[in-house]
Structure 1
Amino acid sequence: MKYTKATNYALHIMTYFVSQDGKENFSLSPLASHMNISPTYLSKILTQLVKANLIQSSPGVNGGYSLRKPKSEISFYDVIQAIEGSNALFTCELNEDNLCKIELAMQEAEEKMVTYLKEKLILDVANV
């Protein structure tokens, strides 16, 4: 399975936020430069993270983006869900009844992956 590039960036952004202990606000342009992505694209990703209540946006000269949720509570799943949503990774298109054994196997695998991603914290991989 493959996640979008936005998810890749979002995970790196959140890891960066978590690893910058004591820094309150991250401005868009310097953050875009650090991440080597366009400010427009970064803004779209940050907006999704704000909507998911993982970060917050503060307007003004000293404004920027900062963590909203405690860094000890931000999981990989939180970030992935903020960008990708919560749709199933697999749905059976060939079997018309509701008992597609392939879909059931895929659902079980996805449940195990979700459990792992909920337990794995961004803090676990951040350089803190």
Structure 2
Amino acid sequence: MAYITSSVEYGIHCLLFLVNNEERPLSSRDLAELQGVSPSFLAKIFPKLEKAGIVVAQEGIRGGYLLARPADEISFLDIIDAIEGVKPLFDCQEVRGRCAVFNNETPAWATDGVCAVHAVMQQAENAMRTALSTHSLADVSERFGRKAPDVFFSDVNGWINNRMNGRTSKMRKDSSSRDKP
């Protein structure tokens, strides 16, 4: 977790749209357009989420992604590790052994034991990972659900339905034009 990028933020927001959506897969393209971000940007995120077992893909004209397990079993740490990979917050360079007064002969006491700076950074990383593991997608979805007005959810569902109906209409039109001589 060297640096948590915007990929994580968009990934989490996309996943929030999948909570309580067990029947209707959403495409990464629709999720991207719903949030005003490039579809190619999200197309790089979802395979990582799928590989981590957070989402499952369904093929076809009405295909897309669904959560692979209940939202209360998906922690923020799971999502971050899936998108960013498991990386340390701090990469100790053993600076403590490079002091100019050592004249290229570092005394044992200078590098004995764990670096105090590294120890503090490791403690911070452990605390952050613990905090992220205690917050689930379901928790945040519930908080968001209490904040957003009901009309927002019906507007989102209407938008998604229009998108899916548009794809179905296009598919019917394309297939009928192929049937004509």
TM-score (norm 2): 0.64
Mapping 1:25-104, distance limit 5 Å: 25-93=25-93, 94-96=95-97, 97=111, 99-104=114-119
1:120 aligns with 2:121: no
The alpha-carbon distance between structure 1 residues 85 and 103, as it changes in their structure 2 partners (threshold 3 A), is same
2-side partners of 1:86 and 1:2: how far apart?
Answer: 11
Unaligned runs of 5+ in 1: none
Q: Match of 2:91, SS?
A: coil
1:16 aligns with 2:17: yes
The structure with the largest alpha-carbon Rg is: 2
Corresponding pairs, count: 127
| Bigger fraction of residues in helix | 2
Q: Give the partner amino acid of 2:5.
A: T
Percent identity of paired positions between Structure 1 and Structure 2? 35
Measured after TM superposition, the shift of residue 101 of structure 1 is 0.8
Q: Which residue in the other structure is 2:161 paired with?
A: none
Deviations 1:86-113 (A, max 9, x none): 1111022113546211111110111111
2-side partners of 1:112 and 1:73: how far apart?
Answer: 20
Q: What RMSD, in angstroms, separates the aligned Cα atoms of the two structures? A: 1.8
The alpha-carbon distance between structure 1 residues 42 and 99, as it changes in their structure 2 partners (threshold 3 A), is same
Measured after TM superposition, the shift of residue 62 of structure 1 is 2.2
Deviations 1:6-61 (A, max 9, x none): 1111111112212x444430023221110111111111111111111100111112
- Residues 28 and 46 of structure 2 are in contact (CA less than 8 Å); yes or no, is this contact kept in structure 1? no
Q: Which residue in the other structure is 2:5 paired with?
A: 4
Runs in 1 of length 4+ with deviation above 6 angstroms? Answer: none
Q: Give the partner amino acid of 1:73.
A: E
Unaligned runs of 5+ in 2: 98-110, 146-181
